């Protein structure tokens, strides 16, 4: 019986030994390889701003206000012929060009009428006693001029004259010959002598142009006649 017990115990130990789990080996842990320290890098955030330029194109349409005009070629003109006029005092003449009226013929007797159109509405009954006078000729040394104002505001009348050289075409400045004398009928007259012509403007063959200027009581100019031109001849000797 003891043997059975002993065998049984032995078997029990054997069985116990066989069934016990084998000891578990502790796995070896591989140590990581040391990594040298790396320099610290700072992340840089780059923000790129893209500015979009918007170019706005403006279309401008130019409309010409006038069509271009073709310019003709210039044709050279011959140089004008200049006439020298010596300086002298300014003439109080009207700006309108002189009226060209033919001189009436010398009558056998009586005054020579001047067209009323040359009175320019300011004067009427303009007359003279001849169409020529001279510097040294005793028979024709003087010319008598008469005029009547058409405007009652004209209380004085003055005579202006100028000389045109018929040989050269030179025209000299206007000169004041003085006041006309008034008669009882409201007419004004003056006797003008050949030697009363300004010595600087005397020419042996010339025209004697004249004009009447009407003044008020205060001396202001009221009106002028037209310039009466190329109707009276002026010479040095008897015509």
DSSP line for the chain: -HHHHHHHHHHHHHHHHHHSPPPPPPPPPPPPPPPPPPPP----------PPP-PPP-------SSPPPPPPPPPPPPPPPP------PPP---SSPPP--PPPPPPSSSPEE--GGGGTTTEEEEEES-SEEESS-GGGSEEEEEEEESSTT--EEEEEEEEEETTT--BPPPEEEEEPEE-TTS-EEEEEEGGGS-GGG--SEEEEEEEEEEE-TTS-EEEEPPPB-SSSEEESS--
pLDDT value of residue 10: 60
Query: pLDDT higher for 108 or 139?
Result: 139
Residue 16 included in any domain = no
d(CA 212, CA 18): 172
Residue 235: CB atoms within 10 A of its CB come to 21
Residue 93 included in any domain = no
Q: What percent of the chain has pLDDT over 70?
A: 54
Structure tokens at 28: 């070896």
Residue 231 included in any domain = yes
Residue 12 included in any domain = no
pLDDT value of residue 97: 45
Region 148-163: mean pLDDT is 98
d(CA 143, CA 106): 12
Residue 79 included in any domain = no
pLDDT value of residue 144: 97
Spatial neighbors of 210 by CB under 8 A, at least 6 apart, are 145, 159, 160, 161, 162, 177, 227, 228, 232
**Does the pLDDT of residue 166 top 80, yes or no?**
yes
Residue 108 included in any domain = no
Can you give the residue range of the structural domain that contains 132?
Answer: 117-235
The CATH code of the domain that includes 135 is: 2.60.40.10
pLDDT value of residue 11: 63
Residue 141: CB atoms within 10 A of its CB come to 16
DSSP secondary structure string, 148-199?
EESSTT--EEEEEEEEEETTT--BPPPEEEEEPEE-TTS-EEEEEEGGGS-G
- pLDDT confidence of 109, banded at 50, 70, 90? low
Exposed e or buried b per residue across 24-50, where buried means at least 16 C-beta atoms within 10 angstroms of its C-beta: eeeeeeeeeeeeeeeeeeeeeeeeeee
How high does pLDDT run on average in the chain? 75
pLDDT digits (tens, 9 = 90+) for 186-209: 999 999 999 999 999 999 999 999
On whether the CB atoms of residues 189 and 142 are closer than 8 A, the answer is no
**Does the pLDDT of residue 113 top 60, yes or no?**
yes
d(CA 54, CA 33): 59
- Name the domain count of the chain: 1
Residue 191 included in any domain = yes
Region 78-92: mean pLDDT is 44
pLDDT digits (tens, 9 = 90+) for 36-72: 555 555 444 444 444 444 334 445 444 444 544 454 4
Residue 49 included in any domain = no
CA 11 to chain centre: 146
């Amino acid at each position: 019986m003891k043997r059975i017990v002993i065998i049984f115990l032995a078997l029990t130990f054997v069985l116990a030994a066989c069934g016990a789990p084998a000891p578990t080996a502790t796995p070896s842990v591989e140590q990581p390889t040391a990594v040298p320290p790396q320099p610290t890098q700072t992340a840089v955030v780059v923000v790129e701003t893209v500015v979009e330029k918007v170019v706005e194109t403006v279309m401008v349409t130019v409309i010409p206000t006038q069509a271009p005009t073709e310019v003709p070629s210039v044709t050279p003109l011959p140089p004008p012929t200049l006439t020298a006029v010596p300086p002298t005092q300014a003439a109080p003449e009207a700006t309108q060009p002189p009226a060209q009226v033919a001189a009436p013929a010398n009558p056998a007797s009586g005054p020579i009428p001047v067209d009323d159109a040359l009175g320019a509405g300011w004067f009427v009954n303009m007359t003279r006693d001849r169409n020529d006078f001279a510097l040294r000729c005793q028979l024709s040394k003087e010319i008598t001029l008469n005029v009547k104002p058409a405007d009652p505001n004209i209380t004085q009348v003055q005579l202006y004259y100028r000389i045109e050289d018929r040989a050269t075409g030179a025209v000299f400045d206007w000169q004041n010959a003085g006041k006309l004398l008034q008669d009882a009928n409201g007419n004004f007259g003056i006797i003008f002598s050949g030697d009363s012509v300004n010595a600087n403007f005397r020419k042996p063959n010339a025209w004697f142009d004249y004009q009447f200027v009407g003044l008020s009581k205060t001396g202001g100019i009221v009106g002028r006649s037209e310039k009466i031109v190329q109707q009276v001849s002026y010479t040095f000797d008897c015509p």
